[in-house]
Amino acid sequence: MTYDIQRVYQHGTLALLIPGLFTGTMTVAELLTHGNFGIGTAHGLAGELVLLEGHAYTVNGDGQVSELTPDTLVPFATVHWQDSNLSPEVVQQLTKADLERRILAQAPLKNLFFAIKITGKFKVMHTRAVQAQTEPYPNLTTATRVQPEFEQTNVKGTLIGYYAPALYQGAAVAGYHVHFLNESHDFGGHILDYTIASAQLIVQPFTTFEQHFPSDNQAFLASDFDLNQINTDIEEAEH
């Protein structure tokens, strides 16, 4: 286990989810050797994955939060070692759009991968969660056509996620991709929008993007990815 705070690690690609390769290909235990914070999805799209302080939680399509056992498999996840020496910035009364613009305006980070972590109180938090799929898996667009949405006001918790440069659209989700889990561990998911009341923001830039492939998975190896369709499908499924 190397604790490299300048490295973001990704297992699988966003692109492989598009044709429906939802089979888990790495255990949570192994994933946690590459980072203690992160996001992703679970085997069969069984929820939105949120990794906090070395624990992996999912928020499923019913809005229920569970902690995953170490042997649970995931098809796609991004993780990093949170740098405990970074000083948080206090942020108040900001929407998602405002905060995301402000980060890129403050520092020249647009061509790097970076993590964002926001801990505190949110005036509004609006999420959704994917519904678990069964085999034979549909493609991602079909699987995510109906997605339950959830909203809470005045909620305390942690937002975790990443920014990826535009060049990596398809490997990752270009731009911001963030998940949430509340303090009492009974609300969260893939974030659609939020307004911060008062919180602490940490931005952690990376010099290295480590892309790991599910090289033992025959369906992945044999798949023909339609690259022209990827942008459209990511826009539809992930935003």
The CB-of-134 to a second copy minimum distance in angstroms stands at: 25
Contact positions vs a second copy (CB under 8 A): 13, 15, 108-112, 166-171, 205-213, 215, 218, 220-223, 225, 227, 230
Which is closer to a second copy, CB of 18 or CB of 129? 18
Of the pair 53, 224, the CB lying nearest a second copy is at 224
CB of 70: closest distance to a second copy in angstroms? 21
- Which residue, 122 or 209, has its beta carbon nearer to a second copy? 209
Which of residues 154 and 231 has its CB atom nearest to a second copy in the complex? 231
Measured distance CA(37)–CA(50) in Å, rounded: 8
Smallest separation, CB 146 to a second copy (Å): 28
Q: Taking Cα atoms as reference points, which of 19, 62, 39, 34 lies closest to residue 163?
A: 39
Burial degree of 121 (CB within 10 A; 0-12, 13-18, 19+): middle
**Shortest distance, CB of residue 107 to a second copy, whole angstroms?**
9
Contact call for residues 170 and 18 (beta carbons, < 8 A): no
Cα(133)–Cα(237) distance, integer angstroms:
15
Shortest reach from residue 51's CB to a second copy, in Å: 20
Per the CB < 8 A criterion, the answer to whether 187 and 63 are in contact is yes
Residue closer to a second copy by CB (options 52, 103) is: 103
Handedness of CA 137, 76, 120, 124 (dihedral sign): negative
Q: Which of 186, 208, 191, 235 is nearest to 113 (CA)?
A: 208
